[in-house]
Amino acid sequence: MTADAAPGFRRTAEAIRFLRAHATDPPSLAHLAAHLGVAPAVAQREFRRLVGISPKRFQQDLAVQRAVGLLDRGADVLEASLEAGLSGPGRLHDHLIRVEAVSPGEWKSQGQALVLVHGCGTSRFGLVWVVLTARGVHRLVFVTSPAEGDVLLAATQARFPRATFRPDPQAAQVAINRIFALGVENLTLQVVATPFQLAVWKAILALPAGATTTYGRVATAIGRDSAQRAVAQALAANPVAVLIPCHRVLREDGALSGYRWGCALKLGLLAAEEPGSAGPAPSA
């Protein structure tokens, strides 16, 4: 991450929070910039670069539509997608992003046959730590510093003590660039997961970019109507940010609810997936 990338990301996260807090009385760009302590042109440029739309468009689209319009649309799309298996432009479908669990043999051998390539790189949403295997993406986590990536690496090494770990920042950046680009397809995720977690993750992969759903509707979609808490836990355990789009799941009342990497980032990801934005999330 460049020296000014982290402050820019923090300012944009604060801009999102500020705009949400003033949704009923939208501030001008000059007012927003004054709150952030930067020139209006800087506020506009950083917001557009990291979120994909202007602050004004963000206010217009999200303040009114997020809690109601997208929620209703998401419910319909999820049900139709799972029943009909539809795919098309602008969506993450499980035929294009395949989710594979680490095999029982790989788990039992403590990763003896696994080679895990890891490194930090930059995305339009800040610093990202990624772990890759020969079969696909194993971890993708937003971090605040390379040191946080080192902590996550230690936890992964503890899980697979006999695996081979190879640092490769260049390969990590190439993977991150591809993941956050438009038009990406045929990605495979190789993750540690229970059958229930896989079912939840595959259900939300059926959602198109820009659509949302609720924990309850995901539970119903996988045939576990009363398992809303378990669905929330499965989403919290998501090891690959963005690729398994848990940011598209809202509370039953339409609120953003908790997000592992912060509600500001969750809102930014949703905003960037709006039609007309330069969306950051993979699509095909």
The overall average pLDDT reported for the chain is 75
Cβ-based neighbours of 165, under 8 Å, separated by 6 or more:
116, 118, 153, 156, 157
Q: Nearest-5° angle of CA 126, CA 131, CA 134?
A: 140
Q: How much is the CA Rg of the chain, to the nearest whole Å?
A: 19
Residue among 3, 263, 18 at smallest CA distance from 142? 263
Alpha-carbon gap, residue 113 to 133, rounded angstroms? 11
246 is catalytic: yes
- The predicted pLDDT at position 100 comes to 58
Rounded Cα distance between 268 and 220, Å, is 27
Locate 98 and state its tokens: 């395949």
Q: Residue 283: is its pLDDT beyond 80? A: no
- Most confidently modeled of 14-23, 56-65, 106-115, 172-181? 172-181
Which of these is catalytic: 141, 246, 250, 265? 246
Share of the chain above pLDDT 70, in %: 71
pLDDT at 260: 80
pTM exceeds 0.75 for this model:
no
Between 200 and 192, the higher pLDDT residue: 200
pLDDT of residue 114: 86
Write the pLDDT tens digit of every residue in 223-238: 888 888 888 888 888 8
Give me the mean pLDDT over the 227-256 stretch.
Answer: 84
All structural domains of the chain, each given as residue ranges with its CATH number in brackets, are 5-64 (1.10.10.60), 69-272 (1.10.10.10)
3-state secondary structure of 111: coil
> 3-state DSSP call for residue 209?
coil
pLDDT category at 141 given cuts 50, 70, 90 is very high
